Amino acid sequence: MMPLFEESEAFAKRLDERDPLKKYRSRFAIPERPAGSPVIYFNGNSLGLMPRRARDLVTATLDDWAALGVEAHFKGSAPWFPYHEMFRETGARLVGAMPGEVVMMNGLTVNLHLMMATFYRPTPERHKILIEDGAFPSDTYAAQSQLRLHGYDPEEGLIRAKPAAGSDLLGTDDLLALLETHGREIALVLLPGVQFYTGELLDIPVLTAAARKLGCVAGWDLAHAAGNVPLDLHEWDVDFAAWCSYKYLNAGPGAVAGCFVHARHGEDVARPRMAGWWGNDPATRFRMDRERDFVARAGADGWQLSNPPILAMAPLRASLDIFDEAGMEGLRRKSIVLTGYLEWLLDRAPGKRFAVITPRDPERRGCQLSLRVLDRPKETLAALEASGVVGDYRPPDVVRVAPTPLYNTFHEVWRFAQVLRQAGLAG
């Protein structure tokens, strides 16, 4: 149940004092303004802050390299050969998967292509891809190129889900109706867990069940969902999912991404895929002169291509250890209250020149609120930044702010509301 909020600064400070997750803020490096005060960093939906331990883990990797050279693959503080297996449990718990269903590898769009190479198996009767009309461009490019690779025209092969007239949101009922109308010609459903522009959380289990009932493969881009909302991918029977790790997962710019393959697919080692040596059975991985045929390792690991980039994986290890300790359920509880408090304060801003386009129902959103600014949105963001707020602008008129539960505070939310007034966004 959402608490009764108050507008006073003292109330915000009391919420912070009672916050069971308050200790985690100190584990992150908070950027500072020129005068030395911390910024209000509400941009974790674009790039999460650096876990302080990331520096130590990267340094330890460099030290092992310097001291051991190639032997660091099997010796040292964290041997490189099995390094990616450190995420077998933490990665699975993060997204509600079974051990072996998640692997950290590549980048998000690379993983989407690898998944589509396996799971997009078009036929003349069933070759279309359902995607949202406002999808993040890289997802659209990936889907278009997969259609072209199979000889289909993207203009004909893409079914683009659009919000109803007068709405910014996709809506479960509209998506279900679209599936019912076109489901028997759709080979692949590729939708976002959380829509990047509006912050809308889609009903992943309901839409997955509907897609699979109609014979479609259900794939999900969880770039804005992983580390933001609780997921239960195994129980929801999702076919595959992919996500980046530099947003809510705080693993650094261009961080190693994540990939989920349901066990019913991962256990089928004969399933066609794009193959590389790190997806091969480890028992024969180095027997290059005698074992020339690819033998997939069971589970999501069997979709790996190259040996993992250890220096890039070290920050992810720092972050996922924090998520594993804090737990997604506790983070979600705080997130609902933290974002709800922000929404409550925004609703009470007098003479406001913005509208919140993110769903009002906390169960239909993560921590992001998207504000449609009614006048000079880019200039508004600049005014916020001048006051020490870090958010972002999405054309044509949306400013996104995302108070994240690991390192943002209730007092920062209260201060943000004051900054809005000072910047002229509210009277």
| Strands of the sheet with 102-104, listed across from one edge | 102-104, 258-261, 240-243, 217-221, 186-192, 128-132, 158-161
Distance CA 134, CA 405 (A): 27
Domain 59-325 listed as CATH 3.40.640.10: yes
Per-residue pLDDT tens over the stretch 258-289? 999 999 999 999 999 999 999 999 888 887 67
3-state helix, strand, coil in the chain (%, to 5): 40, 15, 45
Phi, psi of 41 (to 5 degrees): -95, 95
pLDDT (0 to 100) of residue 75? 96
pLDDT (0 to 100) of residue 51? 98
pLDDT (0 to 100) of residue 427? 54
- For the domain spanning 9-30+327-422, the CATH number is 3.90.1150.10
Quick count: other Cβ atoms within 10 Å of Cβ 361?
A: 9
This prediction's pTM: 0.96
Per-residue pLDDT tens over the stretch 339-349? 999 999 999 98
Give the residue extent of every domain in the chain.
9-30+327-422, 59-325
pLDDT (0 to 100) of residue 1? 58
Q: In Å, what is the CA distance from 134 to each residue of 159, 186, 188, 191, 329?
A: 12, 19, 17, 10, 29
The closest of 117, 134, 113, 119 to 202, measured between CA atoms, is: 134
The closest of 316, 186, 182, 317 to 253, measured between CA atoms, is: 316
Same fold, 9-30+327-422 and 59-325: no
Residue by residue, DSSP assigns 115-143 as HHHHH----SSS-EEEEETT--HHHHHHH
Per-residue pLDDT tens over the stretch 110-138? 999 999 999 999 999 999 999 999 999 99
pLDDT (0 to 100) of residue 126? 97
pLDDT (0 to 100) of residue 224? 98
Low-confidence ranges of the chain (pLDDT < 50): none
Q: How many residues does the chain have?
A: 427
pLDDT (0 to 100) of residue 425? 63
The closest of 77, 115, 79, 324 to 221, measured between CA atoms, is: 115
pLDDT (0 to 100) of residue 57? 98
Per-residue pLDDT tens over the stretch 16-34? 999 999 999 999 999 999 9
pLDDT (0 to 100) of residue 313? 97
pLDDT (0 to 100) of residue 426? 62
